[in-house]
Amino acid sequence: MFTLHDRLKSDTVEIARLRLSVVLLMNDSSFPWLLLVPMREGVSEIHDLSKEERAVLMEEVALASKVIQKLFNTDKINVGALGNIVLQLHVHVIGRFTSDRAWPGPVWGAGDSVPYTHAELDKTIALLREALKEEFPS
């Protein structure tokens, strides 16, 4: 049975469930930032997935990237699967702007996160869910 890591639960809000991954929104309004977590227990590396699952994950990452770029008109999309703190496999899909606080470096360690207000969070969740539904029809 799939269980989401406690750290991911505390830092994010669930947006959707796709064919392979649960899509989470990082609670940092500084960046449009999604995480895709394959719903497979005990998986920490991309190569731990089957060949078919890796292909599905890459399609989900590409489409999540497209959604972020379309909704937020980003200058760049960063994709990474570091997992040095949270060993559960998760892929960051982060919209970047040349004007953001971390540009051109990585977002990690570039200042404190700015949690969404309740109104911002509700609006962002609704936008993302609608866009993902269009990209990933059930």
Q: Does the pLDDT at position 104 exceed 70?
A: yes
Q: Domain range holding 30?
A: 6-135
pLDDT in tens, 54-99: 999 999 999 999 999 999 999 999 999 998 889 999 999 999 999 9
pLDDT class of 138 with cuts at 50, 70, 90: low
Q: Tell me the CATH number at 125.
A: 3.30.428.10
Is 120 part of a structural domain of the chain?
yes
Is 14 part of a structural domain of the chain?
yes
Q: How many domains does the chain have?
A: 1
User: How confident is the model over 18-22, as a mean pLDDT?
Assistant: 97
State the DSSP string of 14-51. EEEE-SSEEEEEES-TTS-EEEEEES-TT--SGGGS-H
Is 110 part of a structural domain of the chain?
yes
